[in-house]
Amino acid sequence: MASVYIHIPFCQRICSYCDFPKRVSKTIEIDRYLDALEKEVNLYSIEEKLETLYIGGGTPSLLTISQLSKLKKIVSRFTFANKYEFTIECNPEHITKEKLLIYKELGINRISLGVQTFNKRLLKLLNRGHEESIIYQTVNLIKELGFKNINIDIIFAIPFQTIEDLKSDINHIKNLDISHVSAYSLILEEKTVFEKMFLENKISLVENEVEAKMYEIVITSLKELGYIHYEISNFAREGYLSEHNQVYWKNQEYYGFGMGASGYINHERYYNEDKVNRYIEKINLNQYPIKSKDLISIDEFIKEEFLLGLRLIDGISIKNVNEKFNIDVLEYFNEQLQFLIKNGWISITDKIKLTYEGLFYGNEVFEQFI
Ligand code: SF4
């Protein structure tokens, strides 16, 4: 079984906080890109059946009806397992009935909506292209067409966001009654509009205590609404945990296609070219569009197992790690684990997992395994 990530690196506008590999879209460029993407997929011969396929971005929902037929050709290269999860990331303002029907035809069964907030003032600050009413219309349309697996991404600790604003966002989530929520606290990334605004004193970051309070509200409110908190930032109704993202957190292998995508195959991580023209150029020379590769040593592999696995609320099975790497993990990370226990950030039974307090000190915990 295999997992595949496909990157569509185009956006209509650039969000103030975003540092993902992307650029503002031009139709001709997207067409050329999709042709190159098809060639890249053809360079690999993936015999395994796909359990998960994730089309992310950028903004994949920008693709027009004719561009979706190019995407269909690409997707037709894969064979799916009997039970599979196929996600596409969408911006609410791009969704139409026509596009959703094509998504269904392609086999897409999970829609992930970049909502971020429902608050008009904050949406403007984030430079998003939708407003509250569009989110409701879109989710209703998606449901009408029979999609059951719907995720909404939200961001908290946005500059100027108050606790009341966040509570109002959670109330909207309650009204929408969707199967999955990803809730991330805002991180000030380099080379973003927000970084520039911050350096010019136009915005300030939410204070640490307020951010922690907001995270606490997110956890308790979503749990009260019946969501399972299964990863630091992810919440799902029973039966709707993201299969694709669990591939990453469980440190399993996957193929990555497209500009700026990364993949992890045969203990090797590869990173594709992160400029569209360079990516297309290499493909047209019949070369793999890979910019760099990292062969993962066993030590790095074990560390990654912790960096990723500790994100899962269920934690890491000691028996599984010991068998996978032929080590005694309690001995291997003795110093780090003692430090984390002393601080009350992890617990150890047959599993090693973050405590409730540890959820708020993720960075400090992960530092131990870098
Ligand atoms: S957040 Fe998404 S839509 Fe906004 S610029 Fe980044 S990739 Fe594009």
Residue whose CA lies nearest to ligand 1 atom number 2:
58
114 within ligand 1 shell (Cβ under 6 A): yes
Determine the pLDDT at residue 20.
Answer: 82
Atom of ligand 1 nearest to the CA of 57: 7
130 within ligand 1 shell (Cβ under 6 A): no
Using the mean position of ligand 1's atoms as its centre, give its distance from the Cα of residue 189 in Å: 13
Task: Give the helix ranges, DSSP H, for the chain.
Answer: 27-43, 65-75, 97-106, 120-126, 132-144, 163-176, 193-199, 208-224, 243-249, 276-284, 298-309, 318-325, 329-332, 334-342, 356-359, 362-367
Determine the pLDDT at residue 21.
Answer: 72
56 within ligand 1 shell (Cβ under 6 A): no
Residue in 7, 8, 11 to alter for ligand 1 test, most ligand atoms within 8 A of Cβ:
11
296 within ligand 1 shell (Cβ under 6 A): no
Using the mean position of ligand 1's atoms as its centre, give its distance from the Cα of residue 112 in Å: 13
Using the mean position of ligand 1's atoms as its centre, give its distance from the Cα of residue 59 in Å: 7
15 within ligand 1 shell (Cβ under 6 A): yes
Determine the pLDDT at residue 186.
Answer: 97
Give CATH for domain 2-249. 3.20.20.70
20 within ligand 1 shell (Cβ under 6 A): yes
Pairing relationship of beta strands 262-265 and 268-272 according to DSSP bridges: antiparallel
Pairing relationship of beta strands 290-295 and 180-185 according to DSSP bridges: unpaired
**Contact by Cβ (8 Å): 152, 173:** yes
Q: How far apart are CA 306 and CA 161, in angstroms?
A: 33
**In this structure, what token pair is assigned to residue 108?**
């897409």
57 within ligand 1 shell (Cβ under 6 A): yes
9 within ligand 1 shell (Cβ under 6 A): no
**In this structure, what token pair is assigned to residue 246?**
């669990």
User: pTM for this structure?
Assistant: 0.95
Using the mean position of ligand 1's atoms as its centre, give its distance from the Cα of residue 18 in Å: 6
125 within ligand 1 shell (Cβ under 6 A): no
Using the mean position of ligand 1's atoms as its centre, give its distance from the Cα of residue 318 in Å: 38
Using the mean position of ligand 1's atoms as its centre, give its distance from the Cα of residue 7 in Å: 12
Residue 81 CB partners (closer than 8 Å, separation 6+): 1, 49, 50, 51
- What are the pLDDT tens digits along the chain (370 aa)? 899 999 999 999 999 999 887 778 777 799 999 999 999 999 998 999 999 999 999 999 999 999 999 999 999 999 999 999 999 999 999 999 999 999 999 999 999 999 999 999 999 999 999 999 999 999 999 999 999 999 999 999 999 999 999 999 999 999 999 999 999 999 999 999 999 999 999 999 999 999 999 999 999 999 999 999 999 999 999 999 999 999 999 999 999 999 999 999 988 999 999 999 999 999 999 999 999 999 889 999 999 999 999 999 999 999 999 999 999 999 999 999 999 999 999 999 999 999 999 999 999 999 999 8
DSSP 3-state of 370: coil
All structural domains of the chain with their residue ranges: 2-249, 314-367
